[in-house]
């Protein structure tokens, strides 16, 4: 019987009028109510508020394309909600087959209509953490200033990009990522990029929060584009930046948290010594003491987490590397072997001519 009714319904449907529906996005504004804190995402689970219809207006038309669409979190903070679905204009053949359960049907409303709250609830949803960025996806984030656009929103995305609302330019974005790597703020693991401990500390402690705000930096970039279009003058922009720099410097000077974090793990800015491979300066980075000519291909480096040194209960320090580079060897007392025996030895960091790699050689001290 089920098969018969399915065939019958589909046969009759071809003689019915066309079903007409309009894809609709309603932007709703809830007035006089502060969104609850529980509506924000928390660790391990995302909690969200779903509102069928709140006191608000449908604002599909005439949006200022100079201003990017609000993110989900920004909309929630402002008491704005979005309802996406279809408005059924003509039911047509769907009178026979019924409405697909997956379809979200919205009522017919006009811009500026006042509507009543039907339902409000907090749902707990388990969500996996987002995948790590690759260079390709990070470039996309910089291009769109962190905004997430669906494929069907390509025109809206392009309007935002062309208006200048993005981070950097096609000529500078890749170089910016490279600088972040060189400074030790991000690191590559295969194709994935991750924030280093140094980068995390910077984000957590740096007092000028505007510099980490995609919206803020995107608007600075857009202002540069507006200068080209004669919407702003060069002097206006420079005056603003000058004042911002002055205020930011004073804020950094007064912030104790950032100062303490910076002093907790200082890096020496001067050269540690000369590279035994090419004669250039050896400098300290977050994870190693390496040749400053690494861009030219010199691979000399002594890693701070060197497995041999750490296994003996010692650590690679600035002073240790300085002595090693000056004298060709460095002495350690009180080294502890895997069996628990203590010994003293001179450590030499020498190149293996067969493999081209540097490795440790020990001479025990009686």
**Which stretches of 91-245 are assigned E, i.e. beta strand?**
120-126, 133-134, 186-189, 192-195
Under 8 Å between Cβ of 105 and 86? yes
Using CA atoms, how far apart are residues 133 and 192, in angstroms rounded to an integer? 6
DSSP-derived letter for residue 101 is T
pLDDT at 99 (0 to 100): 62
Q: How confident is the model over 346-365, as pLDDT tens digits?
A: 999 998 888 888 989 999 88
Task: Report whether 77 contacts 30 (CB < 8 A).
Answer: no
CATH 1.10.460.10 in the chain is located at 133-264
Is 8 exposed, middle or buried, given 0-12, 13-18 or 19+ CB atoms closer than 10 A?
exposed
Regions of the chain short of the pLDDT cut 70: 31-80, 98-102, 146-165, 256-267, 269
Reported as a single tens digit per residue, the pLDDT across 134-173 is: 999 888 888 877 666 454 444 454 455 445 567 877 888 8
Separation between Cα atoms, residue 279 and residue 331, nearest integer Å: 23
Q: State residue 276's pLDDT score.
A: 92
Which class would CATH give 133-264? mainly alpha
CA distance 68 to 215: 9
pLDDT at site 10 = 82
Q: Give, as one character, the DSSP assignment of residue 42.
A: B
Alpha carbons 57 and 31: distance in angstroms, whole number: 11
Amino acid 172: pLDDT: 86
How far is it, in rounded angstroms, from Cα 224 to Cα 163? 10
Is pTM, for the whole model, over 0.85?
Answer: no
């Amino acid at each position: 019987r089920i098969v018969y009714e399915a065939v019958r319904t589909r046969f009759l449907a071809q003689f019915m009028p066309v079903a007409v529906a309009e894809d609709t996005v309603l932007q709703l504004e809830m007035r006089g109510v502060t969104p609850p804190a529980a509506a924000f995402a928390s660790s391990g689970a995302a909690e969200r508020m779903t509102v069928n219809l709140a006191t608000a207006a449908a604002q599909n038309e005439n949006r200022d394309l100079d201003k990017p669409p609000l993110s989900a979190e920004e909309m929630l903070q402002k008491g704005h909600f979005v309802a996406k679905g279809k408005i059924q204009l003509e039911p047509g053949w769907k009178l026979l087959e019924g409405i697909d359960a997956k379809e979200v049907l919205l009522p017919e409303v006009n811009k500026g209509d006042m509507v009543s709250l039907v339902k409000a609830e907090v749902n707990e949803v388990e969500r996996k953490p987002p995948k790590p960025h690759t260079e390709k996806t990070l470039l996309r984030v910089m291009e769109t200033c962190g905004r997430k656009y669906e494929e069907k929103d390509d025109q809206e995305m392009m309007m935002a990009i062309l208006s200048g609302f993005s981070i950097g330019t096609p000529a500078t974005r890749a170089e910016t990522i490279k600088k972040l790597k060189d400074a030790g703020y991000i690191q590559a693991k295969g194709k994935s990029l991750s924030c280093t401990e140094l980068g995390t500390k910077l984000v957590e402690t740096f007092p000028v929060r505007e510099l980490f705000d995609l919206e803020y930096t995107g608007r600075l970039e857009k202002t540069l584009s507006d200068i080209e279009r004669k919407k702003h003058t060069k002097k206006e922009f420079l005056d603003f930046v000058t004042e911002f720099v002055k205020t930011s410097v004073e804020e950094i000077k007064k912030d104790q948290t950032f100062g303490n974090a910076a002093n907790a793990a200082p890096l020496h800015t001067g050269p540690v010594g000369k590279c035994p491979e090419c004669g250039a300066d050896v400098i300290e980075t977050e994870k190693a003491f390496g040749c400053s000519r690494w861009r030219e291909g010199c691979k000399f480096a002594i890693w701070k987490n060197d497995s041999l040194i750490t296994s003996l209960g010692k650590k690679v320090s600035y002073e240790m590397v300085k002595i090693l580079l000056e004298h060709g060897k460095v002495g350690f007392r009180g080294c502890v072997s895997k069996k628990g025996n203590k010994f003293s030895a001179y450590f030499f960091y020498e190149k293996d001519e067969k493999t081209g790699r540097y490795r440790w050689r020990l001479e025990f001290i009686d």
